[in-house]
């Protein structure tokens, strides 16, 4: 079981890594503060999904530290690496607080997000020192996306192999039962 990390020291933002990033994956930084994420948000009390990017396979982009998202996200996403998937549990004071965000999020709601960091990039308007640096940045972004796609493909392949193995076991059991039934003769 993965360890849960208390990112705020008061239990307000808890992070549990579901899938580790590959070795060498980059993390958000001052120079790479614009991030793209896939996520699904649920209410801790009911388990009801209130928002997701999975239905339309979109990404959500924001700049870390700008206050454009709930505090828990600014705190947690900056600790992630590209390709990582984490469960982030947010107490109300790090989410929408006493006001909530009606109608989806009631007042004083604890929220649970499953977040995948898809990419990090420089903020818009930041100066990139040279063309070769820009090319390097774009190549790194491409590698990040390929890494994430590769991990997803590998996960899909493993699931398909497991399904095929299970189907073969069921088929073998059915064949064995058929064979036993044919060996007996009626009197």
Q: Which residues are designated catalytic?
A: 39, 50-51, 70, 96, 113
Query: Which of the 8 DSSP states describes residue 60?
Result: E
**8 CB-contact burial (10 Å; exposed 0-12 / middle 13-18 / buried 19+):** middle
Which are the contacts of 144, defined by CB distance < 8 A and separation ≥ 6?
25, 26, 82, 83, 118, 119, 120
**131 CB-contact burial (10 Å; exposed 0-12 / middle 13-18 / buried 19+):** exposed
Tokens of 174: 């059915």
Sort residue 108 into left (φ over 0), alpha (ψ -120 to 50) or beta.
Answer: left
Q: What is the three-class DSSP state of 27?
A: coil
């Amino acid at each position: 079981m993965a360890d849960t990390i208390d990112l705020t020291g008061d239990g307000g933002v808890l992070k549990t890594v579901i899938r580790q990033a590959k070795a060498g994956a980059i993390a958000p930084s001052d120079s790479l503060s614009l991030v793209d994420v896939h996520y699904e948000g649920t209410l801790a009390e009911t388990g009801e999904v209130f928002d997701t990017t999975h239905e339309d396979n979109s990404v959500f982009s924001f700049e870390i530290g700008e206050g454009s998202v709930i505090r828990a996200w600014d705190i947690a996403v900056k600790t992630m690496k590209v390709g990582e998937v984490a469960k982030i549990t947010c107490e109300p004071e790090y989410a929408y607080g006493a006001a909530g965000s009606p109608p989806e999020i009631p007042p004083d709601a604890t929220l649970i997000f499953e977040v995948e960091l898809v990419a990090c990039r420089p903020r818009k308007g930041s100066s990139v020192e040279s063309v070769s640096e820009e090319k390097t940045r774009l190549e790194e972004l491409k590698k990040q996306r390929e890494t994430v796609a590769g991990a997803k493909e590998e996960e899909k392949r493993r699931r398909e192999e497991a399904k095929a193995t299970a189907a073969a076991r069921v088929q073998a059991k059915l064949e064995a039962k058929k064979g036993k039934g044919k060996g007996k003769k009626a009197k």
